[in-house]
Amino acid sequence: MSGNSQIEEELELSPKFDANGLITAIAQDAKTGQILMVAYMNKESLELTIRTSRATYYSRSRKKLWKKGEESGHFQKVEQILVDCDQDCIVLKVSVDAGQCHTGHQSCFYRAVENGKLKFIAKKVYDPKEVYKK
Amino acid sequence: MSGNSQIEEELELSPKFDANGLITAIAQDAKTGQILMVAYMNKESLELTIRTSRATYYSRSRKKLWKKGEESGHFQKVEQILVDCDQDCIVLKVSVDAGQCHTGHQSCFYRAVENGKLKFIAKKVYDPKEVYKK
Nearest to A112 among B24, B81, B132 (CB): B81
Output the furthest CA–CA distance in chain A (Å, rounded): 51
Q: Does residue B73 have a pLDDT over 90?
A: no
**Best mutation site among A47, A91, A123 for testing chain B: the one with the most B CBs within 10 Å?**
A91
Cα gap B87→B90, rounded to integer Å: 7
Given an 8 Å threshold on Cβ–Cβ distance, is B83 in contact with A35?
A: no
3-state SS string for A97-124: CCCCCCCCCCCCCCEEEECCEEEECCCC
Query: Among residues of chain B, what percentage have pLDDT more than 90?
Result: 81
Contact between A21 and A43 under an 8 Å Cβ cutoff? The reply is yes
pLDDT value for B3: 59
Question: B64: buried, middle or exposed (CB in 10 Å: 19+, 13-18, 0-12)?
Answer: exposed
Cα gap A75→A70, rounded to integer Å: 7
For residue A59, list its beta bridge partners.
A64
Q: Does residue B58 have a pLDDT over 60?
A: yes
Nearest to B1 among A10, A81, A132 (CB): A132
Q: Does residue A41 have a pLDDT over 60?
A: yes
Q: Does residue A40 have a pLDDT over 60?
A: yes
Given an 8 Å threshold on Cβ–Cβ distance, is A32 in contact with B34?
A: no
Give the helix ranges, DSSP H, for A1-134.
Answer: 5-9, 43-52, 128-131
Which residues of chain B does A34 touch, with a Cβ-Cβ cutoff of 8 Å? 33
Instruction: Name the amino acid, one letter, at A23.
Output: I
* C-alpha dihedral (A59, A64, A66, A70), degrees to nearest 10: -130
Phi/psi of residue A67, nearest 5 degrees: -75, 110
Output the furthest CA–CA distance in chain B (Å, rounded): 51
Please write the tens of the pLDDT for every residue from A43-85: 999 999 999 999 999 999 999 999 999 988 889 999 999 999 9
Q: What is the DSSP string of B26-46?
A: EEEETTT--EEEEEEE-HHHH
Give the residue from A116, A99, A68, A131 showing the smallest Cα distance to B12. Answer: A116
Cα gap B26→B44, rounded to integer Å: 17
Please write the tens of the pLDDT for every residue from B89-127: 999 999 998 888 999 999 999 999 999 999 999 999 999
Q: Does residue A3 have a pLDDT over 70?
A: no
Cα gap B75→B119, rounded to integer Å: 28
For residue B105, list its beta bridge partners.
none
Which residues of chain A does B105 touch, with a Cβ-Cβ cutoff of 8 Å? 85
pTM check: above 0.80 = yes
Q: Does residue A1 have a pLDDT over 50?
A: no
Instruction: Name the amino acid, one letter, at B98.
Output: A
Contact between A75 and A68 under an 8 Å Cβ cutoff? The reply is yes
Contact between B52 and B77 under an 8 Å Cβ cutoff? The reply is no
